[in-house]
Structure 1
Amino acid sequence: MIMKNKAEEAAKQILSAFESPESLPGPIARVIVNRRDGSPCRKWSWRNQLIVAINGYSEARGFRQWDKVERRVKKGEKSIRILSPLSKSIKDKNDEDRIMVYGFRGTPVFGIEQTEGKPITGCDREVLAWLNDLPLREVADAWGLSVEAYNGSGANYAGVYRHDQSIALGVKDLSTWCHELVHAADHRNGKLQGSSKPSQEIVAQLGSSVILTILGFKHDADLGRCWSYIQQFAGESTDKALKKCGEVLDRTCDAVALILDEAERLSLEPAANSERGETNETI
């Protein structure tokens, strides 16, 4: 109950700030993830890179592309499909040749973890370090969620949660990260349903700000964007948006408490194991 009470206290402070939205700071500028490791998939569309990321892979290639770097797809691995354009040459009204895209086909590719062979060099250490250092990353790991990044330039989504499988991020932004983690907690609480719905998006965005406020990342809580986002899903009037927040307040606090309780449990595990004499050392 301690974490639930902390979540409720922080949420009420945030809702109080929302009562005068004109006094909220402006949204923080997001830093787009732009991976620079030379992998062929970095040249793919953001949609295809997102497909790779939500499947839990840092990079992916086709059979021949893996052959070129002396890696082989492991026996029994199933491909994921990206969308490749179908095009043809046509004559325009000036009788000049131009390329027209008339459709797409699914192209099979495999993630690096599905292959074996010569080590790949040139990984994007900066992005990997950022992903590993995300606050509460251990909670996602404990819940079996992979966390990957995709190039967010031009993307329609800053982040995506795939049920019980992964979180993909297209921006270096703690608010977006916590938004997707709250979706995961909401799902574990049995409240998340299907595709994007106003209530679950309000839960995720408000929950994100609550978490970051509790952890001391008040600047990253990004109340200006949080309010704009909630208004987008709740309606234009302040009263209507605040009412919607109130309707999902308990659900939001339950999701936040689940995350913080899990983080606390994980932080106590090493101490508990030590008291029982459990170590990873071999004699």
Structure 2
Amino acid sequence: MGKRIDEAVQKLLVMWETGDMPEVIKHTTLARQKGERPCDSWSLANQILMLLGLTEDARGFRQWEQVGRKVKKGAKAIYISGPCKHTREVVDEDTGEKVKRTFISGFKDIPVFRIEDTEGKPVEVTKPDYSPQQLPPLMDVAEAWDIPVKYTAGDGRAYGSYLSTPDRSFEQIVLRTHDASTFFHELSHAAHNRIRPLKGGQDPFQEIVAETCAAVLCLMYGYEGHVANARKYVAHYAKVKPEEATKGVMRALSDIEKVLDLILSTTAQPQERTA
């Protein structure tokens, strides 16, 4: 396994150094579908707060009453963030007339309750289905590690997220695209977290490891069109020019090889294309 990984990594680095790469494939995001739960229209940040609360449906006190359920006595709320809006008259620059405009002056905490902390009528809702017709390679690795993979609507900011508590009692991969490269990136974070505990947020070293691993896996499984995007991503976190992206990889090479070895030794799927 080590030799195959080394060959794939070296092939990637040569491509990045020479600039001899396949045509770039642009990332795609999943368009939001209409859902019946209030949380279907929440921001990504609020949906993540809900998921970290170990539920897939959370609503306000009155919202639960509207569907025939009530919050159990003693239940503790989880808090999402909502805008503080106010309306005032302003002069329209084009017409010179006074018009009413709504402005956001800040944000406030909004308490919501998990469906698990309510009782009453069964709630039957249609959840938007964002799953791809064909799952990407290496999905069996996430399954082997008991990591649920959730597809949801894009938010214009991030294509994916790997969520985990420090003790890994809760883990989840959230994807807002069907691009296999994004799944490879988040799966690499999960593998890295098994080698050493990850720091919170977008740590540059961790991002370089995850994206380089994702690029190598793209080569192995036939998604070469994402390799150029990966070079730009790594260069950004390494704070170098794109053509110097390999400089950012060298100090992370040991962890990159360990992450790839862990993933490829876990999967039962053969590579579609070898390096």
Question: TM (normalized to structure 2)?
Answer: 0.78
Task: Tell me the equivalent position of 2:153.
Answer: 151
Distance across 2 between alignment mates of 1:73 and 1:139 = 38
- After TM superposition, give the deviation of residue 54 of structure 1 in Å: 5.3
Change (3 A) 1:139 1:89: same
CA contact (8 A) 1:89 1:100 kept: yes
Residues 1-283 of structure 1 mapped to structure 2, 5 A cutoff: 2=1, 4-21=2-19, 23-53=21-51, 55=53, 57-73=55-71, 78-92=76-90, 96-112=99-115, 117-125=121-129, 127=130, 129-130=131-132, 133-154=135-156, 156-163=157-164, 164=168, 165-190=171-196, 192-214=198-220, 216-219=221-224, 222-237=226-241, 240-264=244-268
Amino acid at match of 2:263: I
Amino acid at match of 2:110: T
Aligned-pair Cα RMSD in Å? 3.1
Give the structure with the higher percent helix.
Answer: 1
CA contact (8 A) 1:202 1:245 kept: yes
CA contact (8 A) 1:34 1:152 kept: yes
CA contact (8 A) 1:138 1:263 kept: yes
Distance across 2 between alignment mates of 1:26 and 1:134 = 19
Q: Residue by residue, what CA displacement relative to the aligned partner does 1:34-83 show, whole Å, maximum 9, x if unpaired?
A: 24333222322343234335555444322322332334556766433211
Task: Tell me the equivalent position of 1:274.
Answer: none
- After TM superposition, give the deviation of residue 19 of structure 1 in Å: 1.8
Distance across 2 between alignment mates of 1:258 and 1:75 = 46
Unmatched segments (≥5 aa) in structure 2: 92-96, 271-275
Change (3 A) 1:124 1:204: same
Percent identity of paired positions between Structure 1 and Structure 2: 30
Distance across 2 between alignment mates of 1:204 and 1:76 = 42
Unmatched segments (≥5 aa) in structure 1: 268-283
Distance across 1 between alignment mates of 2:233 and 2:200 = 20
CA contact (8 A) 1:33 1:149 kept: no
Distance across 1 between alignment mates of 2:138 and 2:240 = 33
CA contact (8 A) 1:53 1:150 kept: no
Distance across 2 between alignment mates of 1:112 and 1:217 = 42
Distance across 1 between alignment mates of 2:50 and 2:152 = 8
Question: TM (normalized to structure 1)?
Answer: 0.76
